Structure formats: C-alpha cells, structure tokens
Structure 1
Amino acid sequence: MKSFQLLTISFLLFTGFISYGQKDAKANKSKEFKVEFEQFTLDNGLQVILHIDRSDPVVAVALTCHVGSAREKAGRTGFAHLFEHLLFLESENLGKGGLDKMSARIGGSGANGSTSRDRTNYFQTVPKDALEKMIWAEADKLGYFINTVTDPVLAKEKQVVKNEKRQSYDNKPYGNNFSVINSNLYPENHPYHWEVIGSLEDLQNASLQDVKEFYNRWYVPNNVTLTIAGDVDVKQTKAWVQKYFGEIKRGETIPKMEKQPVTLNQTKKLYHEDNFARLPQLTLTWPSVYEYHPDSYALEVLANYLSTGKNAPLYKVLVENKKLTDQVGMFQYNSELAGQYMLNVIAFDKTNLNDVMNSINEAFKNFEKEGISQQDLNRIKAGQETAFYNGLSSVLGKGFQLAQYEIFAGTPDFINQDVKNILAVTTADVMRVYKKYIKDQHFIASSFVPKGETNLILKGSTLATVVEEKIIEGKEESFDASIVATYEKTPSSFDRSVEPAYGNSPDVVLPSVWKDKLTSGLSLFGIENQEVPLVQFQLQIKGGMLLENKDKIGVANLLSELITKGTQNKTPAELENAIESLGATIRASATDESILIQGNTLAKNYAQTIQLVQEIILQPRWDSKEFELIKQSTLSQIQQQKADPNTIARNEYRKLVYGKESILSNNRMGTENSVNSITITDLKAYYNQNISPSVSNFQIVGAVSKAEVNRSLSALNKNWKSKKVRFPETKIADAPESSKIYFYDVPGAKQSVIRIGYPALAATDADFYPADIMNYRLGGGDFSSQLTQELREGKGYTYGIGSSFDGTTTKGPFTIYSGVRSNVTFESVKLIKDILEQYGPLFTANDLDVTKGYLIKSNARAFETMGSKLNMLYEISNYNFSDDYAKQRENTVKKMAIEDIKNLSKKYLNTNKMIYLIVGDAETQLKKLEQIGFGTPILLNKEQSHK
C-alpha cells in the first residue's frame, strides 16, 4: 500500500520520535535515518511495539495477526477474511456491537480491519485518553471472543461477506481478473491459488466448529503483534498491556512457512467475456519475488520506469505512437511466500488485444536497447522519497509499517534499512532484473472483453473458469443474529466486564491559521507545521463546471488535464521530468465548482515546485497532440462508466436530484457528443475568461512559514493579471412534491445499487451542521448508525450503507447510498423507508449521548494529518467559517437536545418527498418495487431493458 523514497532528508523528519531515554540534544542532529521504537515480548508470546509521537493528542492501536488466506485449506477458503468481520461483532466483555459500538463513544476513527494473503489487522486511532479502553478491548477480542459466536451470527456474517464479494468482484468490470490469474499462476496446492475473500461455496459450508478450530489455531498471542504509536506514557502503557493481554494463553507453536516461489513451464493465455466491461483489457502476469526480496527494489524501479510518464517505453509505444490506450499500469504484487509482476492495459473500444501485445513487445525491445539512465533512476528515487515520508506522516501509518516489518522482515528496525535498500539500486540492477524475470519468461495472459467481442482476445487463448453465483428469489437462509449466546465466561484474574475509565482529557489545540491577500486578488490561507519535512498545497480557481456552456460540458475537465502537459518553455516530458526530479507531484483536476492545482513536495524543494506551478498557470503550452490524447482518454472513461453500476447510479442520481435545468445535473466529464465537439479553442476561451487570481484561493500546510510562502508567490502575484469573472445563477431543483421510484436496468446485476434523497442544504446554511449532527446516528456514524446496524448487522442485506448531507456554497443533496443483494432489493428499500420514518420519533437519550460523545471526543484527532489541515483551510476559505469553527461546532453539539433532533428529522427526512433510484436487474426486481407505495417505478433506460 505504500511507496518508498530516498534518504537525502536526514533525521529532520523524526526529531519528534526520539528514543524514550534520549535527552542529549546533540543526538537529535544525527543525519542517519531513524524511526525509534521500543519492542518487548510477553511471556505468552505477544509481540509489542511502542512508538512515541507527541505531535497530536492521539494514539493509534493496531493488532496484527499473522494469518491470511495462505493459512487456509482448500475447501475451507475465506476463513481469514470472515474472521476479520466476526471479530468486530462481539466479545465476552465488550458485548454486542463490540469495538464498533465503543468506537462511537470514545471518538475513535472508526475501528477497521483488512485481510491479505498473509496477515489480518485491526486498527483505529483514538484520543489518547481512551488508550486503556482500546488495550482492554483489543485484548478482549483476542482472548475472550470465540464463545460469543453463534450459528445465527455466523449465518448473518456469511451474507455480509457474500455481499462484499458481489460488490468487489461479481458486479463490476474486470472484477474476476485476479481470480483467473491467481488460479492459473499458482498450482492448486499453493496457498495463493485462491482469492483472499474465498469462494462463496466454501463460506456457505463453513460450520461453527470450523470457525472455532481456525480461531484456536491462529488467534493466539504467539501469532500476534500489537503496535501502539502516538502520545503515550511508556511505563503506564506497558503495565496496561501486561494486565489485559498477559493472561491470555499461548497457543501451539506455529512453524514458519517456507517461501514458495512458482515457475511456469509454459505461457498460459485465457479469456473471459465480462458482463460489465465495455472495453477490452489485457493483463500479463509473471512469477516474481516475495516481499523484501533483494531484487524487489530494482523491480519496483523497473515497473515505474517502463510504464509511468511521457518517456516510459510502454507509454511511448502504446499511448503516444499506436494510440491503443490512454494508460499502462505495471506493478509488483509481492507477498510473504511469493510474488507476481503485473502489466495491465485497458484498451480503447474495439481494439484487438493482439495489437496491444505486439506493442508491449516492441516497447520491451526499445528498453533492451536503451536501458535506464542515471538521471531517470534519480528521478524515480526522488518520488519514492516523498511518498515514504507521506506514509509516515500519521501515527497509524507509522504503526502499520512497524508491524509490517516485524512480521515480514523479522524486525521493526527494518524500517530503517528499507530506504537504504531503495537507495542502493543501480541502473545495472534494473536491467538485470528485467532479463531475469521478464525477458523471454513465461507468463499468464488474461483477456477480458465485452460480451460478444471474443474476436478481440489474444490468439491462442482458452476460456477461463469464472464461477458466478446465481441469486434466486426467496432462497436465502433466514436467521436472527440478535439471539444472545449462552456460555460460561472465560475465567480471569480480575473483572474484565468493567470498562476502564478515561484518562486525562487531552487538550485539543486547533492549528494556528494565517491569512493574507495579495495585490492580484489571490487569497492565501496557511498552517505552518514542522512535524515532517513536507509541504502540501492547493490552488483553487473557482468556476469548474459552473462556468461551462451547457452544450459543451467537459471543458473545465479537459483544461485541468491539459494544463499540466507542458508549458511554453517545457515540453510535456520536460515538465514531467522537472516535477519528478524534485520528488514532487503537481496534479490538476476539475470539480463541479473549481479547478484545483494540487501539490505535494519536500519542504526543501517547495520554492522550486511553486516556480513550476507559476509556469503552468501563466504559460500554458496548448499542445494539440496532448489535447487529442486527453480527449480520447476521456471518451474511453465515459464508455467505461456506462458499464459500472455504481457510476451509473452516481450519474443518474445527479440528473434526478439537481433537475434538467441545472448545470450540476451533468457528469462533469461530459458526454461522448459534448467531448467530441470541444476544441482547443474552447479551452483557451475558458482560460482567458475565467482563470483569474480574483477568484482563487491558495491553501498550504507544512514545513514552510508565511514569509516563505509570500516570497514564493511574489512573481505569480506580479504577473497573473486579474479579471472579472461572472458566475451565472446556479439553478437547483426543489425537493419533489411526492416520492417516485426510478429504475435503471443492468441485466444480470448481482447487486442493486440504491440512492435515496433530495436537494437539501448548502454548507453555509444555518441548519447544515445541525442536520449533520442529526444524521450521525442515522447513517453518518458508520457501524454506530441505525442503517448499518439494521441492514448489514441485522439482516445481512449489504456490505455497506450510509447517509450524508453534501452541500457546498450551493444547495447539495441528502443521500442514502448502498449496494444490496439483488433478491432483497424491495426489502432493503422498504426497511430504509421504515427507518427514516421512525428515526426522529424514536430517537433516544442514549442516541444523543453516543452522538455527542463521538463528535466532541473525535476533535482530538480532527486535524492530525496534513490532509485534514488542508481541508480545514478549504472550508475556512470557501464558506467563510471562522478559524475556530471546530470549537464553535463543539458548542453546537453540546447544546443539542433530543427535541432538536426530532425537529430536524421531521424537517429533513420526509420519506414522501424523496427520489428513490435503483440500478439493478429490472427483470427480477422492477415489479416488486410497486409495493413500496410510490406508484409504478419509472424505467430510465427503456431501450436497453428486458422486453
């Protein structure tokens, strides 16, 4: 998940992370890269890693279990991932709702977890006064959990996992590609042969006894690493860890799994006709190396060099010369036992994948002749440097990495060696690993093509095995997950049912904001932050889609793409190289209401990075070749969106919520017709009329002072001419007088994507934040919300559901969003409607306490990351919020009464004045929705639907 970077920045980053006993100031000046930590092992085998970071009053706690899908048995796959779900539900002393329920009370970031081939982790960041509670809770999950799992609980969670599989694999374009690759790359007896999520059949067959055996084998202290990073008292933390984890019994000895690299004795070519794909995709996969293998560092550079950037051999041939695709992705997917090296191309419409394959071979031959230059190697390492520090800029990021190194490299101290290994890569290493792992080596080639387009597949391909579950009406098992388990409590030396008290309440110090306005009209908003030697900034030029001609939607999007493709003085390749050589990124994008130019750079290179931003704004290149490439790429993305149920739902919902008269009803990428009609002259006209400092904000966070920022912008301020920009009135439809159901047909959809809502409030409306408070317990509070508790935890209908108010300076929608199993579409919509109707009348004092507890306590970690600080500046600059708006909101929360919530829900949650949109299989689901009571559903795409 993380990339890595160079080491030229020294110990400056880590002056706040000094070892616990270190008091000698001279030691802080050490130039050696170091992340300090303390490690110890309990008698039961639990590995504990502590790391101090006092920059914010927060602590990240991560429990990492050395078990993933690779520790499963054939026929019993998916258990590790199923456990990730089960472990959140309940334990003996946490009770029903488990850590999710506690998280809402203590102001945590939301307890979460993830499963890979080789490990499962559970993590959360909390205010430091809740640290003992978290240690108590994590220990309860590890040692006092299994008795609470019942057959109904298991049956319900199986449905949740099935929904996750449908959402992530079966109901999206190319969702089964990895399954096809891995089942052919790894032999049947290899632990990477199956997917982490497992097979639906195996999940369905899992018994309670199977689950208990898996728990007893793997969820033992001697197979777990506990990482605690943040503002902690080391002595006290050690005592708590010993108290709560110390008496959990050690499990059987777990032997280390040997590395299991694979070789192919022939190239395998496979194909699949994808129900959700609109464009052909080719993926090539070579056997590679395990995580942290010495060759992995050069392979990382090779993937970057071959595929990323204007001068990349694959980009030059496939994108620029042959125009077969808009991008090429190449990466390594390394795991503990083995690895794979992957090259992925989604080609343009009707492109023959044999042409793609021939072009890949041509690019490889070019690389063989030319190799990689030292300059390019340095450029790639500079980017790795910045990314490395970004990965360590939060306490959770540092905690993750320390645990990762402990488990897969044998020691957390490998964090200090890893970067040195990156730096040691030479140009000769890059060519060596290419010849060893790629050149003339066998591979897996998977061709995924739209239905009926097998003429595009790679020659010699055979039909891949893809298991797609049939979903039959009324065939799902029923269960009551609310039944309380009866069991004899696991004995303990003290009463574990008593939740520890809070520690001393942390003092929440809001970041200090500075502001300025330059003579050009450019407004500046900054926060100086010296924790890491990084700077993040964004230049927001207001306008975006709001300033477009309705007949040519997509101009702002195309302009944002083109503006970073060269300047008057630099070709696209030269500009790209100048940015990357600084270890920086500069990206531009369009939103509904702005064009954003966002940057991330090392503090020492900030001034040079801003010079490039200035050049981009003042001296656009208007490169016609790049413009045509961007148009083709945009058209390709629009085509892909037509096949993705979630994107279809987003685009159709915009039309319904904002209304035909509103410019905001459009997809800001445009349509195929509008994009085809746009010329480079249209982009120049938009630029000349609307790109002005008078409507721009510059927001910046990091290791840079106000004076330095002002100096860096002096030339831009002098040379960027101000102009008057006229904003037309933004029309937005009123809420419907009566509810209607709209249906978009995706034949064969395994899930129904649901959007329910209406145009509600602007972020600047007096009721916006109170309504947001009201929504917390409904659908804004993740697992503490009623929608999640009833549709996921109670019924197993969905993998995820939520609700939100999303306004800006203009009125935005209230939306409920989810993807549900297709054969419970009606049941889900009806249950959502019932929850909405009962929410206000049944809102309790406990609901209010949970809401207040979370919203007040979570302020301790509200501005920990650079991204959160940048968002704070965005809100201050766009909505005219005061610098201490977080404190003001805290007072609003404190004053909120039950009657206020009831009144707000009555005002803003009227189920009879909402838009109900379902994207799914009309043949099986449309008719039943008439029973909701809003008349016959309106089919939005009759020409594509079933007869």
Structure 2
Amino acid sequence: MKIVKSLIVILFMSGILISCKKDTSVTPLNTEIQESKEFKVDFEKFTLDNGLQVILHVDRSDPVVAVALTAHVGSAREIEGRTGFAHLFEHLLFLESENLGKGGLDKMSARIGGSGANGSTSRDRTNYYQTVPKDALEKMIWAEADKLGFFINTVTDPVLAKEKQVVKNEKRQSVDNRPYGHESYVIDKNMYPKDHPYNWQVIGSLEDLQNATLQDVKDFYNRWYVPNNVTLTIAGDFDTTQAKEWVHKYFDEIKKGEDIAPLKKRPTTLTETKKLYYEDNFARLPRLTMNWPAVHEYHPDSYALEVLSNYLSEGKKAPFNKVIVEDKQLAPSVTALHYGSELTGQFSLIIRGFEKVNLNDIDKAIQESFARFETEGISQEDLDRIKAGQETSFYNSLSSVLGKGFQLAQYEIFAGDPGFINQDVKNILAVTTDDVMRVYNQYIKGKHYVATSFVPIGQTDLILKDSALAEVAEEKIVEGAEENFDASIAATYEKTPSSFDRSIEPPYGTTPKVMIPEVWEDNLTSGLKVYGIENDEVPLVQFRMDIKGGLLLEKIDKVGVSNLLAQLMTKGTQNKTTEELENAIESLGAILDIYSTDENIIVSGSTLSKNYNKTIALIKEILLEPRWDEKEFELIKQSAISQIQQQKASPRSIAGNEYAKLIYGDNHILSHNNLGTEDSVKEITIADLKQYYNENISPSVTKLHIAGDISKGQVTSSLADLNKNWSPKDVKFPELQNPKAPERSKVYFYDVPDAKQSMLRFGYPAIAATDDDFYPVRIMNYRLGGGGFASQLTQQLREGKGYTYGIGSFFSGSTIPGAFTISSGVRSNVTYESSNLIKEILENYSKDYNENDLEVTKSALVKSNARAFETLGAKLNMLTNISTLQYSNDYVTKREEIVNGMTVEEVKKLANQYLDPNKMIYLVVGDAKTQLKKLEELGFGTPILLNKENKSIKD
C-alpha cells in the first residue's frame, strides 16, 4: 500500500437504511423520536464495449468528485512463489504512465488540490482512489485511463528494483518490526491448504518480491489489468452526460483482455486443531488467537456471525468480558470478529493477556465463556442494540462521496450488482436470535481451529499446551544487502498508439465556488461555549466536547490521572451500572468515546439525529453523576499498565515517548506519556481521580462542537439541563516554560536489538499554532515534507533511494508551542545514509527553493479548499480551530490570501529561520550494535545512548 490513510472496511455493511435506483424502502431499526428521513444513494451503471463497468453517483453537497478504479485482483489471483504481485502493482501504478510522465498521478495530485492519490490491496481486489475539486474531473478520468491502458511500458528494471525496496520497507514497518506482526502469516499458513489462494499474505514475502522479474510483472499486468476486470466509480458533484462522454473518450479504445472466469468459492475445513507458538522479539505481553473456518462475504450466515462476534466480545454484557476481563482478570479486553472475503472467511478471537499470564488459563476462560453463552444465548433486546450501532456506523461510512463510491463498487464486484445494497439490508434485518445460536453451533462449537501463542522471548512457559513452534522467516540485518539502482534513469519505450494525442493534459473545468459552512455560536450562562454547523446530508450528528486540562493539569509524580478518569467516566453513572450505561448508549445507535490528551479530556461521538436528545441526556448524566466504581477503576488501571508495558516493545511508541522527553525536558509536564508509567499508575487512587474531577471538570473550560442534522435551536434546547446543573469552577492552569531549541545538534539513540527498521524523529521545539508565522511555515514546509508525494523528503528517500515506506515533516503547535518534526521509519542498514540525506535536504532547502516549488504549493493549498469541509469530521475540525485557536470563521479565505501573497523570497527567509539542521535533536530508535557507531559520521559527535542498561551492545 501507499501510505495508507484509509482502508475502507466493509464491516460497515451492517444495519443499513438506504436505497438506490430501485427505490426499495427499508424500515429504520429505531423510530422512538421521529420518522427517519428517506435516505438514498442513487446510482447509474453502464458497461463499455471493452467490458469496463462504470458506476456514477451524483452528490452536490460539496464541490468535489471522488474517482476510484477497482481491479478485481488481489493476492488470491497470485501463485505460490510469486506472491505480493497485486500489492506491488498498487505501488507501481502511481509512479509513471506514458502520458502523465514520471511522477504520474502523484505529481498531478498536488497541482489539482487532490486528497492525494492512494490505494489499497486485499486478498480479492486492488483499488486506486482520490477525491478532487470538481473542476479536475476530466483530468482524473484521463489519468485513470492512462493507468489502465498506457502504463506497462514505463516499468523498467530500475523502476522495479526501487519499488521492491519500498514494498519491503512497508513489510518491515507493518509486519517485521512490530509486536505480533507475524501472527497473520502463521494463522493463514495453517488455516488454508498450500494451494489455497489465502495461504499467503497480501504483502507477499521478501524472497518472492526480490525474485520478481520484469517479465513476471508484465505478464501479471496484461492478465489482470484489463477493462473487463475493472470497475470505475465516479461520485460527487458532476454532470453525468459530460462524464459519460469523457469516460468513452479516454477508455473506449483500451482493448478488452482475455475472459476472466470467476474464482470458485473455496471454503476450508480443518481435520484437526492446530496449535502454534512463536517467541516475538517485539512482544512484552502474551497473546492468544483462535481462528475457525467460516463463510465468505454476503453468505447468508455471514450476517449472524457478525452479530455473534459483536455480542461475544463487545461491552460489559459480553460473555468473554464477564469471564476473562472481569471475573478472572486475565486480560484488559477481548476482540472477536468475522472476516469474510470473496472465497471464504474466518471467525477470529484475539486476546492479549496481562504480563506473565499463562495462555492456558485464558484458554480455560474462553471455554467457560462459550459455556455461559450456550446457557444464556442472546436476547432480542441485545440483537436490536447491536443492529442500532451498525446503522450509525454505516451512516458514518457514507459521510463522504468517496465512501459512497466505495460501497457501490464493493457490491458491484463481489455481489454482482450495486443494487445488492437493498438485499444486504434485508439480510441484516432478518437475523434472529435463533440464527445467532445456529451459526455458533455450526461453525464454532466443537469445531477444529488454529490457535497461536505469541509470547515474549524466553517466556515459552506461557504458551498453549501441546503447541508446536511456528515457522517464521526473520530477515537478518546485513550492510549492503540490497541491490543498487539508479531511479533517475528515464524509461525508453515505444508509446502505445491512440486515436488522439493523450499527452495533452485536459483543461480544468469551471472553478468551483468554495462554500464555507455557516457557523453558529452560543455562550451559555454556565460558561459552556457551543459551536455548530447544521448539515442534513445524512441523518447523523457528530460532536466533540473539549474539556481543557488532560496532562496539563497533572502532577509529574502521578501522571496518568486524566487518562484513568476519562476511561472511568464511561463506566456507569449514579443510576446506571456500566452495563446499563453501555446498553443505553448502544440502543440509541450512538457511538461515544471519552479520552484524555495532553491538553484536554475529550467527549466525542456520533448519533442518529432522531436520537440526539437522548444521547445528550446520557452525556449530561455521565458528566454530572459519576459512579466511581472501585472494581472498574482497578480493571482500568490493569489495562493502562498493560498498554504501557506493550509500548516499551513498539519502536514507534518508543520513538514518540523518547522524542517528547528530548523536546520538552524531564521537568516539563508535556515530556511525559499521558498514560503514565507503571509505577505512577500503580500509585494513583480513586481519590486522585475525584480530586481532578472536583477541581477541573468545569463548563468554564469546556467547548462543545456539533455538526450534522440538527439546528442551533435544537442544540440549545437540549443543553438546558446541563447548563443549569453544571456548576462552573475556577480552574487553575500552571505556567509552562517554553522549551528551547538546542544550540548545537546532538544524536540520541535508543537500542531495540535486531530491529528491522530504524525509527527517526528529527526536530526541535518550535512555535504555537497561534503564532503569526504558523500558517506561513506550513506553506514553507509543504515542499519539504508536508505535501506527501509532492515533498522532497518523499521524493528523495522513498522514490529516489527506496530507503523508506513513508516520511514527512510537520509543525505541531496548539495554543502551546509545539515541535517541528521529521518522522520516518527507514531500512536498518541505511540508517546513517537516510539521516545524512535528510540533513543535506535541510541544508539545501532554502537555497534550492524556486518559483515552481511555490507554484505547486499554491495550487495544492488553494485548490484543496474545495475538499476542506466535506465530511462532518472536517466540519468539527473547523469548529475546533475557531474555538480553541481563536481563528475567524472565514480563516480559510484568509489563508488563501496568505498563500496567494507568498513569494519565493519569503519562503526562503522562513526556511532559513525555522530549518537549521545544526540546531536539532536527532533521535534514532533501532539496532544499536549495527547502526549506532556509523552515526558519528553525521558530524554531531558521539551518539548518546538513552538506554545504556541494554545488554545487546555492551560487547
């Protein structure tokens, strides 16, 4: 995958109130307050002569269009020994095409203000997608056609060699260098026969990727990337007649490929239960998974299996929670899910135990949980509660035109008709309590399964009895092991003929008028400030309440109080147990989360608009009538300690925590992990939480942001009781010392033995978001590392050298000065080379910055404003900027003026002022025995080892 921002999970295909062209109406699950509005996703579908399926959906709520090209090919279409090809293609298709040239769609995306061309690969499909301003639709159709019909000639041996390194870096980052990363590999190798398409991983193996030849790649493309195996989806604000003309113009002459027969369903069975174990270099806690063969997506039984997974594991009432979490206190939580793919599926149970917990004890507790379920079953009330939550989740997935486009393509490819959405709804609503028990008995009870025990190194005494050692190939860190390539070599080839000159980029359409949402504000007598945007695109309301405080109001010797308090606030009220509160929330189809950050305690969520008043009433009860349940408090403490322990093994978490210490210094409260430490959490009492609550939870420091299908009058009315009964307090905030940038750069190293990647965090204490320079420095940073594939860091370290899967830079200030940070994970054996290249880029950025850089930056930042307010989440973000940072309601327009007025000289001046590589902190988290010494060559002295107690480098 490219830097994955969003994997559209089709688990949202549950609890739908929707219809399309056939106008099939569906009765909503919950109609207590008012009749649900009729909700439709209308679509039009047609097929080109070459077999390309085209789906159009018009949505004029924002001046944007989402375009998605979905190929019906994933890892299941590969063969053993040549795995990872589908995923490799996802990368290759962004690099170049005959008529877009080098840089391809990525380069164009920056100019047109797109969301960034992206993609994802699964077992069964690969998709490419982007949301753009409506005036760029013809450009996108042109570009997508170039991928499909005018691409393969541009792939050369150097191009392939470079992208192999990028993909291998992705595997190291997402699999090899993270806790439990090899778990899926072990499960699938033992769940599916050797010849089954799901036996191997989507990302493939390092060996297969390395062995891929250019001819292999071309053969794969010519077989699967043909119009008759692809669906084009266009969703948003466009003229359908014009769009059809463009689709015909650019796609018609692409030749149809060989007929592709659908793969037959391949359900799998196990003749025995298989138990495997593995000592995980990055695990600090034991983890048990159990996986049963199940059914493919849209199988009649898949709906009941999804309900079963939810009921068994989610919430206080869940049998697994009752036994494993509460009664026996073996683990902080339990996850169960049914994962249906095109050919078959599996039912999974995942439990990460507390430190040193024997997985055999968890196994016994699992059997006890199943026995409880067999005795008690599932009630109709619980079934309805689960369906209500699924309804809200589905509406959330439809809050963008891209989400709607994804849904339609999903049904087209895997159900044969976008209109299957109506039958899907019927199947969901038809699930009965008897169905849930039936699928449990048919697929789970007494059936064989695959169990994996992943434990920390040296703790095999915790593994499941009779487990065999799993076979996992671990990559060794070898200097100079990767093949060399020259990414600058231009591909030479004979262009594919066309009936017109495709090298001419289509013009822009009419410039869209960006409509800034109308913001309303209300200052209540209690001191509570309310900010809202009314939008009735979906029958949903999203909200975010920021209570200023969090880590800022904690004591250094007892860090973790606000995190524990936030979690305890959802564990019941004076009149409701935890279970009763959860049931009340879920029965409304509401989603509610309370969590703590460095600067706030945040209450966030969403609800069906028809149930908004009842949701607000529950929030009032949570805020004003805490339960202070001692048992729940102890469970939360155990869970927090478990999370802290696991963070110690995650290179990414280590990097974040150590970087904060270096930026702020030991005596600054923001240098601490807001979870606390194992010792500090153990010392915290419920009295500490009550003290924080009594002194700091106040309407006078609270701001509520609401966006969705609700008016100002309705919101004000709903808050009357909360406003009347929530007493304001005088909350005292400590004065914070602003950390200073170092006078001279230093290199710090945290040793993670045998790490397959080095995590880099380079930067220094910078400025606040309220500083006059804050937005100008973000403009300056766009071409450095803030512009994704338009940035120099990405182009040189990923596209030029293949050192990394992703890299970026950013300024992170709020009302408090934050840091400038460059962040990446690089291949271990190029740690120094990557660091030195970043240093060189910083040194040369100002002097090399030119008019073209500024032109690309201006185009990207101004045109992207068409997408700025599309989703309810984006609207909430706008409200938060206005309320917290005191930006004006039209700050987006003012930012456009700043961008348009910026000059190259001003950017150079800002770069000279804010980007000095000789006055930064250089933090590396990686394998010290192979990488530390070489970093002396950066010229910043001997690296300082942060965890000297680590024995791995003492030799």
1:669 match: secondary structure: coil
Residue aligning to 1:624: 630
CA distance, structure 1, for counterparts of residue 331 and residue 528 of structure 2? 39
1:840 match: secondary structure: helix
Alignment partner of 1:763 is 2:769: yes
2:913 match: secondary structure: helix
Contact 1:60 1:230 (8 Å CA) reproduced: yes
Contact 2:385 2:586 (8 Å CA) reproduced: yes
Of residues 165, 170, 179, the one that matches 2:171 is 165
Residue aligning to 2:160: 154
Residue aligning to 1:446: 452
Residue aligning to 2:792: 786
Contact 1:2 1:391 (8 Å CA) reproduced: no
Of residues 838, 842, 845, the one that matches 1:832 is 838
Alignment partner of 1:663 is 2:662: no
Of residues 570, 575, 599, the one that matches 2:576 is 570
TM-score (norm 1): 0.98
How has the CA–CA distance of structure 1 residues 7 and 292 changed in structure 2, closer, same or farther, with 3 Å as cutoff?
A: closer
Contact 1:3 1:387 (8 Å CA) reproduced: no
Of residues 861, 867, 875, the one that matches 1:861 is 867
Of residues 677, 686, 689, the one that matches 2:692 is 686
Contact 2:60 2:237 (8 Å CA) reproduced: yes
Q: How does 1:479-878 map to 2 (within 5 A)?
A: 479-878=485-884
CA distance, structure 2, for counterparts of residue 31 and residue 805 of structure 1? 42
Alignment partner of 1:468 is 2:474: yes
Contact 2:158 2:486 (8 Å CA) reproduced: yes
- Deviation track 1:50-100 (CA, whole Å, cap 9, x = no partner) reads 001000000000000000000001111110000000000000000000000
CA distance, structure 2, for counterparts of residue 420 and residue 735 of structure 1? 61
User: What is the percentage of aligned positions where both structures have the same residue?
Assistant: 70
2:603 match: secondary structure: strand
CA distance, structure 1, for counterparts of residue 628 and residue 452 of structure 2? 38
CA distance, structure 2, for counterparts of residue 496 and residue 461 of structure 1? 60
Alignment partner of 1:388 is 2:394: yes
Residue aligning to 2:6: none
Q: How far does residue 474 in structure 1 lie from its aligned partner after superposition?
A: 1.6
Q: How far does residue 656 in structure 1 lie from its aligned partner after superposition?
A: 0.2
- Deviation track 1:214-235 (CA, whole Å, cap 9, x = no partner) reads 0100000000000000001000
Of residues 878, 886, 893, the one that matches 2:899 is 893
Of residues 320, 331, 340, the one that matches 2:346 is 340
Q: How far does residue 416 in structure 1 lie from its aligned partner after superposition?
A: 2.2
Contact 1:792 1:798 (8 Å CA) reproduced: yes
CA distance, structure 2, for counterparts of residue 419 and residue 482 of structure 1? 52
| Structure 1 gap segments, 5+ residues each | 20-28
Of residues 430, 437, 444, the one that matches 1:431 is 437
Residue aligning to 1:37: 43
- Deviation track 1:138-185 (CA, whole Å, cap 9, x = no partner) reads 000110000000100000000000000000000000000000000110
Q: Which amino acid aligns with 1:56?
A: D
Alignment partner of 1:944 is 2:950: yes
Q: How far does residue 453 in structure 1 lie from its aligned partner after superposition?
A: 0.3
Q: How far does residue 662 in structure 1 lie from its aligned partner after superposition?
A: 1.0
- Deviation track 1:653-707 (CA, whole Å, cap 9, x = no partner) reads 0000111221000000000111011000000000000011011101100100000
Q: Which amino acid aligns with 1:386?
A: T
CA distance, structure 2, for counterparts of residue 461 and residue 240 of structure 1? 59
1:943 match: secondary structure: coil
TM-score (norm 2): 0.97
Q: Which amino acid aligns with 2:743?
A: E
Q: Which amino acid aligns with 1:789?
A: Q
Alignment partner of 1:214 is 2:220: yes
CA distance, structure 2, for counterparts of residue 7 and residue 925 of structure 1? 52
Residue aligning to 1:184: 190
Q: How far does residue 32 in structure 1 lie from its aligned partner after superposition?
A: 6.7
Of residues 96, 107, 110, the one that matches 2:102 is 96
Q: How far does residue 584 in structure 1 lie from its aligned partner after superposition?
A: 0.2
CA distance, structure 2, for counterparts of residue 453 and residue 6 of structure 1? 40
Alignment partner of 1:113 is 2:119: yes
Contact 2:37 2:539 (8 Å CA) reproduced: no
Q: How far does residue 7 in structure 1 lie from its aligned partner after superposition?
A: 6.0
Contact 1:35 1:416 (8 Å CA) reproduced: no
Alignment partner of 1:903 is 2:909: yes
CA distance, structure 1, for counterparts of residue 56 and residue 111 of structure 2? 25
2:785 match: secondary structure: helix
Residue aligning to 2:356: 350
- Deviation track 1:830-861 (CA, whole Å, cap 9, x = no partner) reads 00000011011100111000000000000001
Alignment partner of 1:285 is 2:295: no
CA distance, structure 2, for counterparts of residue 374 and residue 597 of structure 1? 30
Of residues 60, 71, 93, the one that matches 2:66 is 60
CA distance, structure 2, for counterparts of residue 530 and residue 33 of structure 1? 11
Residue aligning to 1:22: none
Q: Which amino acid aligns with 1:552?
A: K
1:271 match: secondary structure: strand
1:911 match: secondary structure: coil
CA distance, structure 2, for counterparts of residue 551 and residue 224 of structure 1? 59
CA distance, structure 1, for counterparts of residue 382 and residue 432 of structure 2? 11
- Deviation track 1:894-923 (CA, whole Å, cap 9, x = no partner) reads 000000110000000000100000000000
Q: How far does residue 364 in structure 1 lie from its aligned partner after superposition?
A: 0.2
CA distance, structure 1, for counterparts of residue 835 and residue 760 of structure 2? 8
CA distance, structure 2, for counterparts of residue 153 and residue 270 of structure 1? 39
CA distance, structure 2, for counterparts of residue 220 and residue 8 of structure 1? 33
Contact 2:16 2:390 (8 Å CA) reproduced: no
Contact 2:477 2:754 (8 Å CA) reproduced: no
CA distance, structure 2, for counterparts of residue 577 and residue 31 of structure 1? 25
CA distance, structure 1, for counterparts of residue 622 and residue 10 of structure 2? 29
1:560 match: secondary structure: helix
| Structure 2 gap segments, 5+ residues each | 1-8, 26-34
Residue aligning to 1:140: 146
Residue aligning to 2:274: 268
CA distance, structure 1, for counterparts of residue 87 and residue 49 of structure 2? 28
CA distance, structure 2, for counterparts of residue 415 and residue 57 of structure 1? 26
CA distance, structure 2, for counterparts of residue 660 and residue 469 of structure 1? 36
After superposing on structure 2, the runs of 4+ consecutive aligned residues of structure 1 that deviate more than 3 Å are 2-11, 29-34
Contact 1:18 1:36 (8 Å CA) reproduced: no
Residue aligning to 1:26: none
- Deviation track 1:243-294 (CA, whole Å, cap 9, x = no partner) reads 0000000000011110000000000000000000000000000001001101
Residue aligning to 1:924: 930
Contact 2:36 2:539 (8 Å CA) reproduced: no
Q: Which amino acid aligns with 1:366?
A: R
Q: Which amino acid aligns with 2:101?
A: G
2:481 match: secondary structure: coil
Q: Which amino acid aligns with 1:627?
A: F
CA distance, structure 1, for counterparts of residue 538 and residue 127 of structure 2? 26
Q: CA-atom RMSD, angstroms?
A: 1.4
Q: How far does residue 332 in structure 1 lie from its aligned partner after superposition?
A: 1.2
CA distance, structure 2, for counterparts of residue 525 and residue 339 of structure 1? 45
How has the CA–CA distance of structure 1 residues 635 and 738 changed in structure 2, closer, same or farther, with 3 Å as cutoff?
A: same
Q: How far does residue 333 in structure 1 lie from its aligned partner after superposition?
A: 1.5
Q: Which amino acid aligns with 1:929?
A: L
Q: Which amino acid aligns with 2:300?
A: P
CA distance, structure 2, for counterparts of residue 336 and residue 540 of structure 1? 42
Contact 1:10 1:31 (8 Å CA) reproduced: no
1:286 match: secondary structure: strand
- Deviation track 1:526-546 (CA, whole Å, cap 9, x = no partner) reads 000111000001111101111
Residue aligning to 2:202: 196
1:742 match: secondary structure: strand
